[in-house]
Structure 1
Amino acid sequence: MTSPATTAAETRRDAERRKERVALVSIFVSVALTAAKGVAGVATGSLALLTDAANSLLDVAATTMTWLAVRTAHKPADEEHQYGHGKFESLSALVETAFLFLLSGVVAVEGLRRLATGRTEIEPSWFAVGVLVAAILLDGWRWWTLRRVAKETNSEALAADALHFSSDLVNSVFVLAAFGAAALGYPQADALIAIGVSFFIAFAGFRLARRTIDALLDRAPRGLAERVTAIAEGVAGVVGVDRVRVRPVGARVLGEINLKVSRTLPLDRVAAIKERAGGALAAALPEAEFTITTTPVQLDDETILERVMLIAARQRVPVHHVTVQNLERRLSVSFDVEVDSRLSLGTAHEVASRIEAAIQEELGPQVEVESHIEPLVVPHLEGREADAALVSRIAGTLAEATRDDRGLSGVHSVRVRKTPAGLVVNYHCRADPALDVASVHDMVDALDRRVRALHPEIARIVGHAEPQR
């Protein structure tokens, strides 16, 4: 089964190939249009057409820069660029913006100079008209293709190119209009239209500059943080979202999200919640990459038992038999704390006192906290199987002890091992499945005590109760 992360990576690689291909095709088209417009502009003397040719020459540089920027942006992260190279697209778009402003200024100055000196004569030709019509069709196709791919791949560099070619399209239409006006006896329309086109180019450059600067300054895409929050809050186990930070990096979005989870959850459950949240975000936002962290929080519906067990887990000391009593004016909590049986009483008391203090700090000084110290069998004891005669004797004792017991019966799977600490006995027995756990536990404890009284060499006895069939 393909994971959301794998699918997102394949989609991203496909988008990268499409971006590079459309940028490369755009270079060749720009070269052809520049040559054709330049020849026609010189032949007619039209400032508007020469402006259009200069704009197309700029296109060659811009599209080449776009292609190089797109290829660079696709490089993986390295030691010097730990967030990848996506900002190269924004940098390319910013440089192209500067070119647009420079071109608009040059055209406006030349148009005003021609109007002031009266040199507005042009010589329209059908060749120039044919070049302009072809340029309009090609620029329209390039604008539509680049805009579509830029939108699908979220590419700033291609979006800049699409905006640039939309200005070329309008420019060529205006040059045709200037030719028409010149044919009707208004040659000054050429310079006026060239000035108007320069303002259009400047306006397009301003729009592009604002968007590019927002990307370079890590402005969050509108509404994305709210969408990320909604997706994360829908994941099972997420209590809330503490913080979301997103920023565009080329065609991708990098983000950080901090999830609130219950502090009583074990680490493996928290890891599973983070994995589910990451999968949900990857499925909904394949172009985004998130770093997910968690903050444990106390829930309003936490029980006293959960809070006590959490504190014990933090102290790395096992506790059981937690008893909570609601007295008239205070709360009382008692529990059994298991410590290494080889510890001295003084050391064991320090362990118990440390847990008592931590519980009292959590629940409040008015809460009564008491612990009962129990010996914990040393883990990883070296042992060996007892001989058959000893196993048979202990099994017989267990069977005899349950004969008169109405609750337990059917002792089986008796195992006896010899260890340096004494005998360790494991056995199974059966009980009425309708009985509650507390009652069965008391019966097993009573059976264990009777057997240990008859076999004092037993250091540990573990009884496993099964429901009667």
Structure 2
Amino acid sequence: MSDEPEPHRADAHDHTHAAAGPTGRWGRLRHRAAHLLKPHSHETAERVDAALESSAEGLRALWISLAVLGVTAAAQAAVVAVTGSVALLGDTVHNAADALTALPLAVAFLLGRRAASRRFTYGFGRAEDVAGVLIVCTIAASAAATAYAAAHRLVDPRDLEHLPAVAAAAVIGFAGNEWVARYRIRTGRRIGSAALVADGLHARTDGLTSLAVLLGAGGAALGWPPADPLVGLLITGAIALVLKDAARQVLERLMDAVDPALVDRAEEALRAVEGVLDVGELRMRWIGHRLRAEVAIVVDAAWPVHKAHRVAVAAEHALLHAVPRLTAVTVHTDPHWEHPAADPHRALAHHRAFA
């Protein structure tokens, strides 16, 4: 009989292809052809492999940028020791701080690779958000240190020496920071890590402030010593702007914010699945650089459980294809009721009133 339950199979693709695909018969044929050309799976083991791969990519970006910024900061520190440039000192402090922010991020990526436990049932991806907070605090501390050094030099002026060396160190600082900024931002966006993107923005500001050091050296060469500490104050202002952007990104992740365009894309994918009559509550959240989703879909109330389950698996499959970096989906099926009085959720209404 057609309503007899079928044996449950472990392969999610079997469920999906047995059910109606996202765009009907032709959509199913195209999807099967795509699987033949580019086989893939959404089983738990493969999702974990993808998550580990993204964490490994983030770690690689951190270690490489740490080495580049370490060499840059060391070269600049040697020049600061000889010249006493406050602007270059501020730039060196930022480069060193930016290099050190790789350490909490590396710890976060390593923690994120650990499996979920009975206490941390969602895993350890939130460690990235904690690292993001530490990065924001580091940016704020470096801004305060630079402002203090610049103000002190304004009160107690001092002539700069070896101006060509200061200019050369500034160019080195810009080149090193801009390369690291591009690398971190590109990698962070690819794997979905807000903390890594924030760290890249920090490096980019350090690169721009390195160019500003040239202004201080130029002013000193023209016989105006206050140029160096004044540029140091300008650097502080630039860092404050980056601090604002980085803090906003990290705070949004802590508040479970997602791009509304991702929600729209998810709803479109769900509504295209045959058998989905409507899409109810849809929630998405970042856990580290991975997305999780929870959604309620409406199906025909007359369907047996196994048929509704097929549609739920097809909906999950559609979301995994439609939303980048989505690694886990919980799909709840609600039956469509003609009369509100028959809605089984009425028993929960008094709980939802206070939600």
TM-score above 0.5: yes
- How far the C-alpha of 1:260 sits from its partner, in A, is 0.5
State the match for 1:195 in structure 2.
233
| Aligned twin of 1:20 | 59
Following superposition, the deviation at residue 71 of structure 1 comes to: 1.8
Q: Which residue of 2 aligns with 1:5?
A: 42
1:157 to 187, 192, 195: 195
Asked if structure 1 preserves the Cα contact closer than 8 Å seen for 2:73 and 2:173, the reply is no
| Aligned counterpart for 1:252 among listed residues 290, 294, 299 | 290
1:277 Cα shift?
Answer: 0.6
2:30 counterpart residue number: none
Match of 1:145 in 2: 183
User: Structure 1 stretch 183-192 or stretch 120-129: which is displaced more?
Assistant: 120-129
Aligned length: 299
Higher fraction of helix = 2
**What is the distance in 2 between the residues matched to 1:269 and 1:286?**
28
Q: Which residue of 2 aligns with 1:334?
A: none
Once the two structures are superposed, residues 181-228 of structure 1 have per-residue CA deviations (whole angstroms, 9 ceiling, x without a partner) of 211222211101100111111121111111111111212333322221
Match of 1:80 among 110, 119, 124: 119
Q: Map residues 366-405 of structure 1 onto 2, 5 A cutoff.
A: none
Looking at structure 1, the residues matched to 162 and 273 of structure 2 have their Cα atoms a distance apart, in angstroms, of 67
Q: 1:460 maps to what in 2?
A: none
Superposition pairs of residues 351-366 of structure 1, within 5 angstroms: none
Indicate the structure whose relative CO is greater, using CA pairs within 8 Å and at least 6 residues apart. Answer: 2
Residue of structure 2 aligned with 1:101, choices 140, 155, 165: 140
> What is the rounded CA distance, in whole Å, between the counterparts of 1:60 and 1:293 in structure 2?
45
Structure index of larger Rg: 1
Q: Percent of aligned pairs with the same residue?
A: 24
Corresponding residue number in structure 2 for 1:227: 265
Q: How does 1:297-316 map to 2 (within 5 A)?
A: 297-298=336-337
Amino acid at match of 2:219: A
The amino acid across from 2:81 in the alignment is V
For 1:138 and 1:211, locate their aligned partners in 2 and report how far apart those are by CA, in whole Å.
24
Checking the alignment, whether the CA contact within 8 Å between 1:4 and 1:279 is kept in structure 2 is no
Q: Which residue of 2 is the match for residue 296 of structure 1? A: 335
- Distance across 2 between alignment mates of 1:181 and 1:125: 10
CA spacing shift, 1:250–1:267, aligned 2, 3 Å: same
Find the aligned partners of 1:9 and 1:85 in 2 and give their Cα distance. Answer: 13
C-alpha separation between the residues in 1 aligned to 2:324 and 2:210? 39
Partner of 2:93: 54
1:177 aligns with 2:215: yes
Structure 1 residue 110: Cα displacement: 2.4
Q: Name the SS of the counterpart of 2:279 in structure 1.
A: strand
Task: List per-residue Cα deviations over 1:291-320 (Å, max 9, x = no partner).
Answer: 1111111359xxxxxxxxxxxxxxxxxxxx
Structure 2: stretches of 5+ with no match in the other structure: 1-34, 340-355
Q: Hey, what does 1:461 align to over in structure 2? A: none
Looking at secondary structure, tell me which structure has more strand per residue: 1
1:67 maps to which of 90, 94, 106 = 106
Could you tell me how far 1:159 is from its partner in structure 2? 0.6
Equivalent in 45, 55, 76 of residue 37 of structure 1: 76
Structure 1 pair 173/202, CA: closer, same or farther in 2 (3 Å)?
same
Partner of 1:5, secondary structure, is: coil
**Alpha-carbon deviation of 1:23?**
0.6
Alpha carbons 2:76, 2:169 under 8 Å: kept: yes
Cα displacement string for residues 252-272 of structure 1 (whole angstroms, at most 9, x for unaligned residues):
111210000111001111111
**Runs of 4+ with >6 A deviation:** none
TM normalised by structure 2 equals: 0.80
Q: Secondary structure at the match of 1:223?
A: helix
Letter in 1 for 2:177: D
Q: CA deviation at 1:124?
A: 3.4
Indicate conservation of the 8 Å contact 2:262/2:323, yes or no: no
